[in-house]
Amino acid sequence: MRVLVGGGTGFIGTAVTQLLRGRGHEVKLVSRQPGPGRITWSELSESGLPLCDVVINLAGENILNPLRRWNETFQKEVLTSRLDTTHLLAKAITETAHPPQAWILVTGVGQRRLRLRSLALQRAQQARDRQSKQTLFHDSLLPAKPD
């Protein structure tokens, strides 16, 4: 099967690409950087969708980038990076004479902030639960107390 993977050089894209190639599929990447087995997003925009059976879009700014703060500017960049690549692939798919059999889109644009207090309370409750289970188990091993 011929598979086109947008974002195939990212963390998840690399794993998906290796899995697909390992199973004998022909994989072409859409990337910001040109290279063997790749086309750039600009080339996709100008030349259209290459012949493929499946399109997978994993492209987008890394929301876990340790060098970036989760603020309004970064949040907009994350959202835009996903919308722009999705729009470009959708346009290429609708304009091709031979559309793929499947289009898979995997994306996320949110980050959940941990609340340290609730996390500490949750861990304390888990510790109490473990202690309670251990006590019940220990008590069940003791001989019955004479009346």
- The whole-number pLDDT of residue 111 equals 53
Q: Is the pLDDT of residue 72 over 60?
A: yes
Name the residue among 58, 109, 110 with its Cα closest to residue 79: 109
Q: Which residue has the higher pLDDT, 123 or 27?
A: 27
Q: Has residue 145 got a pLDDT over 60? A: no
* Separation between Cα atoms, residue 58 and residue 104, nearest integer Å: 9
Sketch out the chain's domains with CATH numbers. Answer: 2-113 (3.40.50.720)
State the DSSP H helix or E strand holding residue 120, giving kind and residue range, or none if neither.
helix 116-141
pLDDT tens digit string along 79-125? 999 999 999 999 999 999 999 999 999 876 555 555 555 666 777 77
Enter the pTM of the model.
0.72
Q: Quote the strand ranges of 7-125, DSSP E.
A: 26-31, 38-40, 54-57, 102-105
